[in-house]
Structure 1
Amino acid sequence: MNPALRSSIFITIFTLFFSNHTKAQSEGNAIKASIGFAASSSYYIENYGSQEEVDVMGGGPYLQAEYIIGVKSWFSLRPYAGAIFTSVDNNQNVQNQPQYKVTTNAFLLGAKVRLCAPIPWVAPFIEGGIGTSIGKFETITPGVNFNKSDLLLHIPFSIGLAIGRHNNFEIAISGYFHPAAKQSSGIFAVGYNFPLD
């Protein structure tokens, strides 16, 4: 078979298949619940004395709920509320030095947008937005000394996969960046969408 003809047939089948199945993507409203693990760290690589790296990372649970406004099969608006609670081992021992740590214990409010490939079963997506965090932030490292209970700006960013025939299950890696506290929280989370329409 002629390669050009074979390519044309493949493109035609591909287009027909996905034009019929992209309806599996949600264009209505939904609620998404997520749970995962968060790790808070400083923006900077910290070293002490002999250039031995100092472990300043905190870890803990992450929870979030989103209200999904499905504008198109590939685009949605997502107001969210959530929480991050990270801590460090109180027995952390850096010989003859103060205890360095990066922790986040805060509630999150904000909004983000999602761009998603409208593909059933496995749909990759990317998200970004802006929000505020209300709580206590500690970034105590050799180069930074931030320890406040405050309301701070954060910038969320996520990449992940929406899984299933209707893409109701999700696996994502996210980051919440807090410029004022000079720290960020990396998150691995799983979620489920509950359609409202």
Structure 2
Amino acid sequence: MKLTLNHFFILFIILFSSQTQSQTTGNSIKASIGFASSASYYIENYGSQEEVDVMGGGLYLQGEYIIGSKSWFSVRPYAGAIFTSVDKNQNIQNQPQYKVTTNAFLLGGKVRFCAPIPWVAPFIEGGIGTSIGKFETFTPNVNFNKSDVLLHIPFSIGLAVGRHNNFEIGISGYFHPAAKQSNAVFALGYTFPLD
């Protein structure tokens, strides 16, 4: 049997209309843990120098309070932390130690749009927040090193999996325009219903 776009559309409508109750509505708490990396916005040109890895890597933690008004839409105030560092490269002599690191607490809010499908539900999130901590972006083109309160813009895509979509696998980005750096995060999460 040949599957066409119409078949997929009909299947999506059936799943969307008959299974919307499987996605949790109401209030919940989500806890996430994962790996974070820090990088500069700019493409670095090292000229004749040996290419140097300036990315930092480390730990990501976050908690969210979920206000689920619809099975496909929720508002999510969050608090979290990103701690990244760079290994010192002892083989580079007479060159500066370029690095991009973030050690900050995150506070903010975001909204999520989710396909209300049981077992595997794709989602997309966006919002705005503030970061409180130390940011260092030291590359050939940027020299930013401050402990400050900075604006960040979060963006995420991922999958909520399981019968009630309690487990999550996601990729997030936190963009810090003032520090000229961004954080990429791969995280796993679990949602605890409160209702």
TM-score by length of 1: 0.90
Shift of 1:50: 1.4
C-alpha displacement at 1:91, in angstroms? 3.5
1:44-63 to 2 correspondences below 5 Å? 44-50=42-48, 52-63=50-61
Give the aligned partner of residue 108 of structure 2: 110
Indicate if the aligned counterparts of 1:46 and 1:54 stay in contact, CA closer than 8 A: no
Greater gyration radius: 1
Give the counterpart letter for 1:78 in structure 2. Answer: R
Q: How does 1:91-130 map to 2 (within 5 A)?
A: 91-130=89-128
**Could you tell me which residue of structure 2 aligns to residue 193 of structure 1?**
191
Q: Look up the SS of the partner of 1:77 in the other structure.
A: strand
Alpha-carbon distance, 1:16 to partner: 5.0
Please say if residues 56 and 141 of structure 1, whose CA atoms lie closer than 8 Å, have aligned partners that are also in contact.
yes
* Cα RMSD for the two superposed structures: 2.0
Aligned to 1:77: 75
Shift of 1:17: 5.0
Q: Report % sequence identity.
A: 81
Offset at residue 52 of structure 1 (A):
4.3
Amino acid at match of 1:90: K
Summarize the Cα distance change of 1:133–1:93 in structure 2 as closer, same or farther, 3 Å threshold.
farther
Structure 1 CA distance, aligned partners of 2:35 and 2:113? 24
- Counterpart contact for 1:81–1:107, Cα < 8 Å: yes
C-alpha change, 1:8 and 1:43, in structure 2 (3 Å) is: closer
Change (3 A) 1:138 1:15: closer
CA distance in 2, matches of 1:53, 1:125: 36
Q: Is the 8 A contact 1:34 1:63 kept in 2?
A: yes
Gaps of 5+ in 2: none
Q: Which AA in structure 2 matches 1:54?
A: V
2:137 corresponds to which of 136, 139, 158 = 139
Q: Rate the CA distance shift 1:166–1:92 in 2: closer, same or farther, 3 A.
A: farther
| 1:114–1:48 distance in 2 versus 1, CA, 3 Å | same
Would the alpha carbon gap of residues 79 and 93 (structure 1) be closer, same or farther in structure 2, given more than 3 Å must change?
farther
Q: Is this contact kept in 2: 1:115–1:127, CA < 8 A?
A: yes
> Could you say which residue in structure 1 is the equivalent of 2:23?
25
Distance in 2 of aligned mates of 1:71 and 1:80: 17
Residue 165 of structure 2 is matched in structure 1 by 167
Query: Which ranges of structure 1 fall in alignment gaps of 5 or more residues?
Result: 1-6
**Structure 2 length as normaliser, TM-score?**
0.91
